[in-house]
């Protein structure tokens, strides 16, 4: 029997589940196996050939908007809800193609990577800074945001990650910042547009301090004013920033609210673009942020209700390292509570999907199978239901119907793999000594190899990590 319990925890709890042979690789020194991934920039990279840059995505968006305008021009009020929906949805096909490419690339990375702890960290941070393709304008950006902001930022600091996330057109469009205008700015005084506080509020509530982190409505408004001018180059901004390529981050001085700002008791001089960044960096270093990030990480990797001591250790690491992410991630590896033999987290649909495909050792899967699978399981990549991202607790994922969907998907997968598989060996290769006798017996007594694989994938130990 390969491996020890510690190796099983490393690959299953910290990683995305074992590919064939991976348990042995981790077994030599499970903690070192994890630590190597955290420090290495290439662990976080994804093959991006055939995928668009932020600029390319912006061009695709511009051509979509033009198409949608042509289809609805002059028809307001005369279209039925179905026709209105079609007019908006039909030209979306091209944008969805971009998104599908991103989903495919991320999925193949998730299935094939030998650094699956790094991949889990990408998924965690990408969810923390959610850019959901729930709006037409964010569809082409959600994937490239993950590659160019999250993956690229994994060996830097939290503050740099926060600034990069806030400057990306995906985020600026998702949370309505791109069109926010200071009421006393040049453009605001002409009354064409006004303040939109959505991004400022969500940064405070979701990306940094947290709803209980100690800020007021006045802080939200002041921060929103500090961020005015942070926008995305497009048709409407051409006259303000003529040279910019579509999709570039731009600072539009004519949108920026003039004057000093006061956020959480700190004063910020009026210096245009830098004002918003100065607030962001202060928020990144706020003690409530350290505590909140620590609590989220511990909840994600340990249990829905992690021990306070583990959270404190992570928060301390965040503060003393100045928010260095590799240091924080190494602290996570060192936590005693993370090595409890009993798995306490129920896998998210995405984790279940990727770990199941890793277990089977499958080397490739068609795009339709990927998209359909995520849809059935209820977690389509880059389509989190809200800026809060996907939920991260058992009660959100372990509903009766969700369980049935997992069984149906496992059935479809095993139908596809046919009868040449050996599910007991697969389960042993994934869990080693952590495979329970009850599950091993159940799989070995299955009426067919195909049913055995369903039982392995749906077993209590495989559903958890």
Partner 1 sequence: MTFPLITRRTALIAGGAVFVAGSAGALTVSQQAGARKFVLVILRGAMDGLAAAAPYGDAYYRALRGKLALALPGELDGVLPLTEGFGLHPKLAFLHESWTDKELAILPACASPYRERSHFDAQDVLETGASQVFGASDGWLGRALNALPVNELHEAVAISGALPLVLRGSPHATSWAPSFAPSASDDTLSRLMDLYADDKLLGPALASAIETNAIASASGTDSMDRKGRRAGPGAYFGLAEAAARLLSAEGGPSAAVLSFGGWDTHANQGAANGQLALRLAGLDAALRALKIGLGSNWSKTVVAVVTEFGRTVAENGTGGTDHGTASAAFLLGGAISGGKFAGDWPGLAPTALFERRDLAPANDLRAVFMTVLREHWGLEQSLLSRTVFPDAAGVHAMAGLLKV
Residue ranges binding partner 1 (CB under 8 A): 76-77, 81-82, 84-85, 134, 175-176, 179-181, 183, 188, 193-198, 201, 205, 211-212, 217, 346, 375-376, 378, 385-386, 388, 391, 394-405, 407-412, 415, 438-439, 442, 446-447, 451, 454-455, 458-460, 463
**Closest approach of partner 1 to the CB of residue 237, in Å:** 14
d(CA 114, CA 457): 21
Query: Which residue matches tokens 């990650």?
Result: 161
Task: Please state the closest distance from residue 328 (CB atom) to partner 1, in A.
Answer: 24
H-type alpha helices, 203-272: 217-227
Length of the chain: 465
C-alpha to C-alpha distances, 10 to 28, 35, 156, nearest whole angstrom: 11, 11, 23
CB atoms within 10 A of CB 326: 18
Neighbour-count burial for 236-274, b at 16+ CB within 10 Å, e otherwise: ebeebeeebebbbbbbbebbbbeeebebbeeebeeeebe
Q: How far is the CB of 459 from partner 1 (least distance, A)?
A: 6
CB nearer to partner 1: give 45 or 92: 92
Nearer to partner 1, 32 or 403 (CB): 403
Rounded Cα distance, 240 and 172, in Å: 17
State which residue, 282 or 412, has the beta carbon closest to partner 1: 412
Pick the closer one to partner 1 by CB: 118 or 178: 178
Q: Counting Cβ atoms within 10 Å, is residue 420 exposed (0-12), middle (13-18) or buried (19+)?
A: exposed
User: In whole angstroms, how close is the CB of 203 to partner 1 at the nearest point?
Assistant: 13
Least distance from partner 1 to the Cβ atom of residue 403, Å: 5
Task: Compute the least distance from the CB of residue 103 to partner 1, in Å.
Answer: 15
CB-nearer residue toward partner 1: 194 or 361: 194
User: 457, 443 in Cβ contact below 8 A?
Assistant: no
Shortest reach from residue 222's CB to partner 1, in Å: 15
Nearer to partner 1, 121 or 377 (CB): 377
Angle at 225 (CA atoms; ends 222, 226), nearest 5 degrees = 90
Q: Rounded to the nearest whole angstrom, what is the least distance from the CB of residue 212 to partner 1 in the complex?
A: 8
The smaller minimum CB distance to partner 1, of residues 237 and 442, is found at 442
Contact 109, 67 (CB under 8 A): no
Tokens 């030599």 belong to residue:
28
User: Residue 464 CB, nearest distance to partner 1 (Å)?
Assistant: 9
- Give the residue with the Cβ less far from partner 1, 155 or 383: 383
- What is the C-alpha separation between 253 and 282, in angstroms, rounded? 22
**464 φ, ψ (degrees, to nearest 5):** -115, 170
Which of 265/437 has CB closer to partner 1? 437
Q: Which is nearer to partner 1, 39 or 89 (CB)?
A: 89
The minimum distance between CB 34 and partner 1, in angstroms, equals 27
**What are the angstrom distances between the C-alpha of 37 and each of 8, 27, 46, 80?**
17, 15, 14, 53
Q: Measured between alpha carbons, how far is 430 from 444 in angstroms, rounded to an integer? A: 16
Question: What is the longest distance spanned by two Cα atoms in the chain?
Answer: 76
Residue 225: both structure tokens together: 């004013």
> Do residues 137 and 173 lie in contact, with contact meaning Cβ atoms separated by under 8 Å?
yes
């Amino acid at each position: 029997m390969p491996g020890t319990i510690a190796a099983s925890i490393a690959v299953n709890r910290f990683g995305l589940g074992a590919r064939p042979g991976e348990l042995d690789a981790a077994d030599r020194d499970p903690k070192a196996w994890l630590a190597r991934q955290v420090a290495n920039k290439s662990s976080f990279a994804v093959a991006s050939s055939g995928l668009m840059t932020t600029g390319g995505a912006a061009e695709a968006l511009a051509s979509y908007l033009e198409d949608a305008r042509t289809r609805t021009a002059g028809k307001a009020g005369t279209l039925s809800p179905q026709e209105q929906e079609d007019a908006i949805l039909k030209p979306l096909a091209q944008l969805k193609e971009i998104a599908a490419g991103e989903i495919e690339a991320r999925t193949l990375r998730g299935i094939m990577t030998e650094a699956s702890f790094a991949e889990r960290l990408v998924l965690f941070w990408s969810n923390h800074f959610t850019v959901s393709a729930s709006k037409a304008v964010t569809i082409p950006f959600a994937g490239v945001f993950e590659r160019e902001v999250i993956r690229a930022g994994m060996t830097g600091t939290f503050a740099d990650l926060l600034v990069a996330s806030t400057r990306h057109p995906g985020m600026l469009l998702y949370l309505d910042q791109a069109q926010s205008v200071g009421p006393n700015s040049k453009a605001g005084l002409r009354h064409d547009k006004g303040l939109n506080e959505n991004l400022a509020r969500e940064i405070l509530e979701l990306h940094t301090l947290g709803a209980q982190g100690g800020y007021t409505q006045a802080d939200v408004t002041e921060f929103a004013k500090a961020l005015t001018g942070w926008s995305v180059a497009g048709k409407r901004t051409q006259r303000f920033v003529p040279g910019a390529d579509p999709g570039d981050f731009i600072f539009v001085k004519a949108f920026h609210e003039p004057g000093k700002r006061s956020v959480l008791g700190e004063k910020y001089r009026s210096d245009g673009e830098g004002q918003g960044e100065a607030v962001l960096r202060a928020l990144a270093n706020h003690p409530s942020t350290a505590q909140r990030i620590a609590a989220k990480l511990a909840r994600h990797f340990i249990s829905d209700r992690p021990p306070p001591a583990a959270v404190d250790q992570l928060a301390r690491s965040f503060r003393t390292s100045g928010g260095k992410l590799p240091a924080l991630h190494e602290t996570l590896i060192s936590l005693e509570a993370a090595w409890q033999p009993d798995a306490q987290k129920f896998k998210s649909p995405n984790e279940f999907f990727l770990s199941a495909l890793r277990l089977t050792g499958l080397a490739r899967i068609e795009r339709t199978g990927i998209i359909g699978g995520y849809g059935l399981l209820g977690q389509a990549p880059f389509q989190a239901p809200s800026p809060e991202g996907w939920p991260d607790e058992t009660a959100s994922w372990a509903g009766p119907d969700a369980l049935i969907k997992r069984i149906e998907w496992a059935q479809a997968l095993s139908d596809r793999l046919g009868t040449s598989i050996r599910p007991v060996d697969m389960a042993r290769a994934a869990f080693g000594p952590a495979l329970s006798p009850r599950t091993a017996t159940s799989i070995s007594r299955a009426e067919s190899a195909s049913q055995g694989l369903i039982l392995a994938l749906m077993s209590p130990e495989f559903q958890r990590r």
